Amino acid sequence: MTTPAETGTGLRAYLALTALISPLCPLILRRRLKRGKEDPARWSEKRGRASAPRPDGPLIWLHAVGLGEVMALRGLIAALHAARPDLSFLVTSTARSSGGVFADNLPPRTTHQFLPLDLAGPVTAFLDHWHPDLAVWSEQDLWPRLVHQTHARGIPLALVNARMDSAAHRKRARMRGMLRDTYARFAYLAAQDDATARHIRDLAPNVTITTLGSLKSGSAPLPDDPRERADLARHLGARKLWCAASTHGADEAVVLAAQAMRHRADPAALLIIVPRDPDRRESLASACAAYGLPYAMRSCGELPKPGDAVWIADSFGELGLWYRLCPVAVIGGSFGQVQGHNPWEAAQLDCAILHGPNTANFAADYTALAQAGATIPVRDAATLNAALDRPDLIEMATQARILQSNSAGSVARTSTALLDLLGDG
């Protein structure tokens, strides 16, 4: 592991710059507040000012950027807790949307906070308050000052579930020197796939990194309220349901065109569409109207009427409900440039999985699902409409669930490695 004295030029320049602009932290956050990018009740957490006490005993700090990444940590936290019931957990995230939903689904002995800005004052305040015994970073959201200062305090660092595609690698190559020094401070690194491992080794040739697969395949199932699900199932009756999850504009153009075909042929067909950003509800409603599709809006308390073709599920944290209600799900982000979202949440809940052609974010995952006969790629509205009528959708869902169960060993292996780093506390 690199020592603080070996800090290279790139990282030294970054640390110096962030020290200079640290006094601007309140101004930066107020601007973000005005733009709706921060939670007004919790924005002081971004300044390193904790809104909760540090629990007694050993504390593992885990960080992931957004809602999907944070929810994927629940399975790892459960495994760590089962092995060491004395552990407490601090989970940080960056995206505003992650805070409320994760707070409603906290694992045992877990506290959520927003990650402080990577500036000298907030970082010092954050580490002074929490002083974790182990720091675990997930996927690809790394902040050099936080990593550097954590390491300087003698706190072991791990990077798990690392993900870096070719496009991300090209961008990061411009910061090769700083990233080499940052990665070198991690005592343990594990990648989702071999391509990520190669990209990190290119940026930091001296690190040791292993490939363990995706933690998302072994995360705990998304929650829902069984009573609400039963009520909705009674209301929807025998309607033919399908779901489009975590959608963006390019996805919605395809799924709404497919639903227009289905609704003309069978008015009982109902699409439950879950936009990645619920604030896009108005543009999605306009798109439904443009396709001549009557719709209901979840956030307005509306239930689909018999003539409605689309139910806009514009709320956070309810994918577990929609996946349980629908036998088939189209995973969003896969028809445009987003490059796909997590398929395993649907696989866990017995959904047949369909997706568009662009899945680079989860390339290894979709390849494994395809090889197991557990997913179908579609190109456009016509091929999607045809796929929704395939007779083998139930078999596909079964294969996806089996593959997900078999892939969950990455959580156990990661948990063991982290406990080895932590030691006896």
Quote the pTM value: 0.75
pLDDT in tens, 78-126: 999 999 999 999 999 988 877 777 777 788 899 999 999 999 999 999 9
Mean pLDDT of 14-40: 85
Whole-number pLDDT of residue 39:
82
The candidate with the shortest Cα–Cα distance to 164, out of 139, 136, 137, is 139
Q: Return the pLDDT at 219.
A: 77
| Run of H or E including 286 | helix 281-290
Q: pLDDT digit string (tens) for 358-397?
A: 998 888 789 889 999 999 999 999 999 999 999 999 999 9
Ramachandran region, residue 84 (left: φ > 0; alpha: ψ -120 to 50; beta: rest) = beta
State what percent of residues in the chain have pLDDT above 70.
Answer: 98
| Average pLDDT of the chain to the nearest whole number | 91
Q: Domains along the chain?
A: 4-212 (3.40.50.11720), 226-407 (3.40.50.2000)
- 256/247 Cα distance (integer angstroms): 11
Average the pLDDT over each of 55-64, 76-85, 103-112, 260-269 and give the range with the smallest value. 103-112
Sheet holding 310-312, edge to edge: 295-297, 310-312, 269-275, 240-247, 328-331, 352-355, 375-377
pLDDT band at 261 (very low <50, low <70, confident <90, very high): very high
Taking CA 361 as the corner, what is the angle to CA 359 and CA 364, rounded to the nearest 5 degrees? 75
pLDDT of 41 over the 80 cut:
yes
pLDDT at 140: 87
Q: Using one digit for the tens of pLDDT, what is the confidence trace for 286-330?
A: 999 999 999 999 999 999 999 999 999 998 889 999 999 999 999
* Integer Cα distance of 353 and 344 in angstroms: 9
* Orientation of helix 249-265 relative to helix 281-290, angle to 10°: 40
The DSSP code for 384 is H
d(CA 210, CA 8): 25
| Confidence category of residue 1, pLDDT binned at 50, 70, 90 | very low
Task: Name residue 136's beta-bridge partners.
Answer: 62, 158
- Position 4 scores a pLDDT of 42
| pLDDT of the residue at 6 | 62
More confident residue, 65 or 159: 159
How far, in whole angstroms, is CA 281 from its chain's centroid? Answer: 21
Radius of gyration of the chain (CA): 22
pLDDT over threshold 90, residue 282: yes
Instruction: Indicate the length of the chain as a whole number.
Output: 425
Q: How confident is the model at residue 425 (pLDDT cuts 50, 70, 90)?
A: low
The percent of residues above 90 in pLDDT, for the chain, comes to: 72
- To the query of whether residue 69 is one of the catalytic residues in this protein, the response is yes
Cα separation, 187 vs 194, in Å, equals 19
Task: Please state the rounded mean pLDDT for residues 17-31.
Answer: 86
In this predicted structure, the answer to whether residue 2 has a pLDDT above a threshold of 80 is no
Residue of 38, 69, 318, 345 marked active site: 69
> Alpha-carbon dihedral of residues 67, 410, 203, 117, nearest 10 degrees?
30
> Which of 54-58, 153-157, 175-179, 405-409 bottoms out in mean pLDDT, i.e. has the lowest?
405-409
Residue 424: left if φ>0, alpha if ψ -120 to 50, beta else—which one?
alpha
Long-range pairs for 361-364: beta carbons < 8 A, 24 or more residues apart? 361/163, 361/165, 361/333, 362/214, 363/165, 363/193, 363/195, 364/192, 364/193, 364/195, 364/213, 364/214
Using the Cα atoms of residue 407, residue 408, residue 409 and residue 413 in order, give the sign of their dihedral: positive
Q: Which residues contact 332 (CB under 8 A, 6 or more apart)?
A: 244, 245, 246, 247, 248, 251, 274, 276, 338, 341
Question: Would you put residue 198 in left (φ > 0), alpha (ψ -120 to 50) or beta?
Answer: alpha
